[in-house]
Structure 1
Amino acid sequence: MTEPGDRRPIAARNLAVMTRLAGWLIQRQASPNAISGWGMVAGLGAGLALAGTAWLPEAARPLWLLGALGIQLRLLANLLDGMVAVGRGVTSSVGELWNEVPDRVSDSAVLLGLGVAAGNWGLGAAAALAAMATAYIRAMGKAAGAPSDFRGPMAKQQRMALSTALAVWCAVVPLGWSHGIGLPAIVLWVILAGSLLTCWRRLSGTAAALRGRPRA
C-alpha cells in the first residue's frame, strides 16, 4: 500500500461516486492487490483492442471504443486500489510491487497497441520506454530519500487522457480523418516528447531535493 502522503494527487478521489464505490468495495473486504491486478488485465485488453484496429480494420470502430473503455477501467482500478487500501488500513509485503508493476505493464500495453494501430510499433515501443522511464526516475528518487515526484507534463494521467481521446476520436469520425493525417502517430510523438520532458523535470527536481536534504 502507498502511504497517504505519498500518493499521486488525483482530484477524482474526492468525487462522491468514487467515495461510494470505494466504500462498497471496503465493506466487501476487497483486496487492493486484486484490484490492481484487474486493472492490469484491463490495460492489457486495451492494448490488444488498439492493436486490433490494424489487424481487423473492418471492426476498427468498436475496437477503438473497447480500447478507450479498457484504458478508463485501468485508471479506475488505479484509483480504487489505493482508496481501498487506505480505507481498510491494510498493508502487504508485496503491496508496492502491486502498486507499480501493473501500471508499467498497462502503460506498455496501451502504447505498444497504439504503435501497432499507427503502423509504427517502434514508435509505440519508444513511447512505452519513455513512459517507463518517468516512473523509474520517480521510484529511484523515492528510494534515495526524495519525495515521490508526480509532475508532468506527461505523467500517467496525461498519457492515458491523450490515448483515450485519440481512441474515441478514431471511433466516431470517418477513418480518413485520423489515419489520413497520421493522427495515432502524432499522438505517440507527443507522448514520447512529453515523457522525455517529464523525465528531465523529475530528474532535476529529485536531484535538487536530494541536494537540499540534511546529511545523516
Structure 2
Amino acid sequence: MNDTGTRRPLKVREVKFVVAFARYLSGKQITPNQISVISILFAALAAAGFICFALYAHWWLLILAGLMIQCRLLCNLFDGMVAVEGGKKTNSGELFNDIPDRIADPLILVSAGYAVHMVAYGAELGWCAGLLAVMTAYIRTLSASIGAPVDFKGPMAKQHRMAVLTIACVLTAIETLVWHTDYCLLIALIVIILGAVVTCIRRAVSAYRFLEA
C-alpha cells in the first residue's frame, strides 16, 4: 500500500522484526512497485501448488501453496512499508498496489477450487470465490472514488481469505495423509464465498449510508 490515507490497518506493521526488515529493504535498490509485482509471482507459485495437487494429490504441495500464499501477503505488507515508512512512495503506487492484488486473489482461489477432489463442482467454487474476492475490492474502490471512506471491513477481506486458505492448506495436507480426502479445502472455499458475500453487502451498505447521510 503506497498511500497513508488508504492503508489497510495492520498491527503487524508495529512488530520490531517487521519494521527492521522493512528498513533493510528500504536501503536496497528495490522499489515498492517491484515488491508489488513480485507478489504475483508468489501467487502463481501458490496456484501451481494447487494445480499440481489436483493432478498428483501429494500432501506437501498444499504446504508449498500455503507458504507461497504467506509470501504473497508479506509482499503486500512490505511494499507499503517501503513506500511509506521508507519514503519511496511513487505517484503510480496505487496502480501497483491494486492491480497485482486483483490478479493474485483469483489466481490463488480459482486454482484452489481445481484442487478439490471430493466433489465435482470444486472448480465452480474456486471461480465463485475468485470473482467475489475481486468484487469486495471493487466495492471498496468504487465507494472511495465517489466520496465514501475507504472500507476494509470483513468478515472476508483479503487477509481473512488468505488466512482461511492457508489454514485449510495445512489441515488438508494432514487430511490427505491420514484419510486421503480434502474436505477441509472444500469447506474453506465455501466459508470464503459466504464471507465474501457478507463483506460485499456490508461495504456497499456502509457506503450507501455514508453517501445518503
The two structures have a TM-score, normalised by structure 1, of 0.91
Does the CA contact (< 8 Å) of 2:32 and 2:79 recur in 1? yes
Mapping for residues 67-82 of structure 1, pairs under 5 Å: 67-82=65-80
Q: Deviations over 1:93-122 (max 9, x none)?
A: 422111011111111111111101114211
Partner of 1:152: 154
Aligned residues: 209
Mapping for residues 1-216 of structure 1, pairs under 5 Å: 2-57=2-57, 60-119=58-117, 120-175=122-177, 177=179, 179=181, 182-212=183-213
The CA distance in 2 between the partners of 1:193 and 1:154, in whole Å, is 9
Which amino acid counterpart does residue 129 of structure 2 have in structure 1?
A: A
Contiguous gaps of at least 5 residues in structure 2: none
Contiguous gaps of at least 5 residues in structure 1: none
The CA distance in 2 between the partners of 1:109 and 1:129, in whole Å, is 10
Does the CA contact (< 8 Å) of 1:51 and 1:115 recur in 2? no
The CA distance in 2 between the partners of 1:210 and 1:178, in whole Å, is 51
Which amino acid counterpart does residue 8 of structure 1 have in structure 2?
A: R
1:18–1:73 Cα change, 3 Å: same
Does the CA contact (< 8 Å) of 1:170 and 1:178 recur in 2? no
The CA distance in 2 between the partners of 1:209 and 1:84, in whole Å, is 32
Does the CA contact (< 8 Å) of 1:40 and 1:105 recur in 2? yes
Alignment RMSD: 1.6
Which amino acid counterpart does residue 145 of structure 1 have in structure 2?
A: G
Which amino acid counterpart does residue 108 of structure 1 have in structure 2?
A: P
Identity of aligned residues (%): 39
Shift of 1:48: 1.4
The two structures have a TM-score, normalised by structure 2, of 0.92
Does the CA contact (< 8 Å) of 2:47 and 2:112 recur in 1? yes
SS in structure 2 opposite 1:172? helix
Shift of 1:186: 1.5
Shift of 1:166: 0.7
